[in-house]
Structure 1
Amino acid sequence: MLIKDIKDQKYFRSADGCILCELLHRKNEDFDLKAGYSIAHAVVPAYEKTVPHRLKESSEVYYILSGKGIMHIDGEEAEVYPGQAVYIPPGAVQYIENSGDSDLIFLAIADPEWSEADEEISENA
């Protein structure tokens, strides 16, 4: 049985500027995890935003846990808040901005699993 506790995970600042931990990722396990996806716990501090970027091959879903923000995908934008799931297709230029005065916290689920080689920072917002 595999149970991961968020309080035992290490956070880092990713290339897109988000603060995250890889909660569930095959490369971090010492056995053959039979999952083609990855899950990260992500935080965007108050009034910050991530850098525009895209995943070339992976789709992503952001599931908003707390806070509020504005999601940007390929030139479209929409307000996001807790309880919403946002689908981000492969190749879409995306970023999220925190429009509130508390942390914007969400799960980022990538399929196939996230890899550094798949992520590309974009000059276009």
Structure 2
Amino acid sequence: MKITEYSQVEPFTTKDGSTIRELMHPNVGGSNSQSFAEATVPVGCKTLEHRHHGSEEIYYITTGSGVMTLGNEVFEVSAGDTVLIDLGVRHKIENTEGEELKILCCCSPAYSHEDTELLE
């Protein structure tokens, strides 16, 4: 059985500036090739524009709302929305409301700093 306890997973800051809690990752919990994390973007903050050359991402917004930039598209997102981020597509997200923006992030293959190219 592979399980992680939320309270036992220490958050860290990724290259894009978001605070991440890796809930399942090859280095945390023992998944083989993907990662599942909770990202938090504080009120009035945004992630740095970036892209991943080796990982596809899925964002699921659990709390709050904001503005997502995905390639040349800019659109609003809020709790309940799901966004697919294809390989190599530049992206960032900004918290534009009065509460924390929380996102569940799935990456396949698993997230790594080395696969994150900052664009700003």
Structure 2-normalised TM-score?
0.93
Alignment-mate amino acid for residue 82 of structure 2: A
Question: Runs (4+) of structure 1 moved beyond 4 Å?
Answer: none
State the partner residue of 2:100.
Answer: 103
State the partner residue of 1:20.
Answer: 20
* Alpha-carbon separation, structure 2, partners of 1:27 and 1:106: 20
| Partner SS for 1:80 | strand
State the partner residue of 2:115.
Answer: 118
RMSD of aligned C-alpha atoms? 1.2
* Alpha-carbon separation, structure 2, partners of 1:60 and 1:12: 18
Is the 2:24–2:31 contact (alpha carbons within 8 Å) kept by the matching residues of 1?
Answer: no
Report the alpha carbon displacement of residue 84 of structure 1 after superposing the two structures with TM. 1.2
The yes-or-no answer on 1:4 pairing with 2:1 is: no
Is the 2:4–2:28 contact (alpha carbons within 8 Å) kept by the matching residues of 1?
Answer: no
State the partner residue of 1:45.
Answer: 42
Alignment-mate amino acid for residue 8 of structure 1: Q
* Alpha-carbon separation, structure 2, partners of 1:34 and 1:116: 18
Structure 1: gaps of 5 or more residues: none
| Partner SS for 2:45 | coil
* Alpha-carbon separation, structure 2, partners of 1:97 and 1:7: 26
The yes-or-no answer on 1:87 pairing with 2:84 is: yes
Structure 2: gaps of 5 or more residues: none
Structure 1-normalised TM-score?
0.90
* Alpha-carbon separation, structure 1, partners of 2:92 and 2:52: 11
2:56 paired residue among 38, 54, 59? 59
Alignment-mate amino acid for residue 17 of structure 2: G
Deviations 1:36-91 (A, max 9, x none): 21011100000100000000111100011100011111121111111111000000
* Alpha-carbon separation, structure 1, partners of 2:6 and 2:73: 32
Is the 2:71–2:90 contact (alpha carbons within 8 Å) kept by the matching residues of 1?
Answer: yes
Report the alpha carbon displacement of residue 28 of structure 1 after superposing the two structures with TM. 2.6
